[in-house]
Amino acid sequence: MSPLARLMQLAVRGYQLFLSPYVGWQCRYQPTCSAYMMEALAKHGALKGGWIGFKRIMRCHPWGGHGYDPVPGCGCERKEAPPDRDPRSSALSSYR
């Protein structure tokens, strides 16, 4: 990780420790915006990760979205499970 990304993460961590307790627990997304920014910086670096985190913070308002919103490209997106492949089911369904 670049020194600039580490410096930005240090600023976010400072926010988490000193300002977040006074702002309140009103985040509409999961993970929280600060955790999202930390992950974006770790995965994508200072410029791209900072931009992705900034866009997320701009979406976090009362008229914005809510719910689960992972960092793009981190490999943690929810995927539908593949259908259960039971070899007995095809054998039994063809038997009449």
Mean pLDDT of 18-42: 89
Q: Percentage of the chain with pLDDT > 70?
A: 76
Residue 80's pLDDT band (cuts 50, 70, 90): low
Question: HEC states along the chain?
Answer: CCHHHHHHHHHHHHHHHHHHHHHCCCCCEECCHHHHHHHHHHHHHHHHHHHHHHHHHHHCCCCCCCEECCCCCCCCCCCCCCCCCCHHHHHHHHCC
Bigger pLDDT: 23 or 9? 9
**Domain limits, the chain:** 25-68
Residue 79's pLDDT band (cuts 50, 70, 90): low
Residue 33 has pLDDT above 70, yes or no: yes
Mean pLDDT of 72-90: 58
